[in-house]
Chain A
């Protein structure tokens, strides 16, 4: 069965500093990987995805993520954090094996950017 782990419930970073939100995954085949952001009482917004090719993918609002197959990780990064980046971040994986190809989410990481 596929799974996603986000080992940190909470990440605090000062405005202007780089941020990293960690994600590891487990799948049978090759993964499709996604990052989403959620603001209070709202649905999830898509940030970026890794399908194939370059291990560093760039997405919305200056975010990027690095795919590492040997470590089965897909960490979200941003070179300079903004207070407005404070939100709940979710990593998700879809296995390329299997007929249903569910989209499975991690438990989320609350990012707080301090002014």
Chain B
């Protein structure tokens, strides 16, 4: 069964350092999402791609976060510099379209900033 792959699963970093997360969506899925989930809360959308284009990054803290999906396949989310408040689960998801199709989630990357 096809899955969304994310790496690493866990990351501990010191504040002010740079950190990057990688996501490989299900093959053929045009829409890719990055969400941030604080423990016990719902996922918050950071950025949404349609193929290689960003269609929504209104909640992305652009002074420190960046995301790219260069060939419209896999994607990287970067934080530089990391802050203590960035500690959270970072979830990647993909869907066939932006319409009536469900999103499939990866296992997530648990980030701890110390």
Which residues of A are in contact with B by a Cβ distance under 8 Å? 4, 6, 32, 34, 36, 41-46, 49, 51-52, 90, 94, 96, 99-108
Contact = CB atoms under 8 A, between A and B. Distances in A.
A32 B99 contact: yes
Contacts of B110: 41
B8 to A, nearest CB: 14
Contacts of A105: 35, 42-44
B30 interface: no
B55 A99 contact: yes
Nearest to A6: B42
Interface of B: 4, 33, 35, 40-45, 48, 55-56, 91, 93, 95, 98-100, 102-108, 110
30 contacts: A4-B42, A41-B108, A41-B110, A43-B93, A43-B106, A44-B105, A46-B102, A46-B104, A49-B100, A51-B100, A52-B100, A90-B42, A94-B98, A94-B99, A96-B99, A99-B55, A100-B56, A101-B99, A102-B56, A103-B95, A104-B45, A105-B35, A105-B42, A105-B43, A105-B44, A106-B42, A107-B42, A108-B40, A108-B41, A108-B42
B93 to A, nearest CB: 8
B108 A42 contact: yes
A103 B55 CA distance: 12
Contacts of B4: 43
Given A6-B42, A90-B42, A103-B33, 4 more contacts: A4-B42, A41-B110, A43-B108, A104-B45
Contacts of A36: 105
Nearest to A107: B42
| 9 cross-chain pairs, A with B, having the tightest CB-CB distances, nearest first | A43-B105, A100-B56, A105-B42, A101-B98, A51-B100, A44-B105, A107-B42, A100-B55, A46-B102
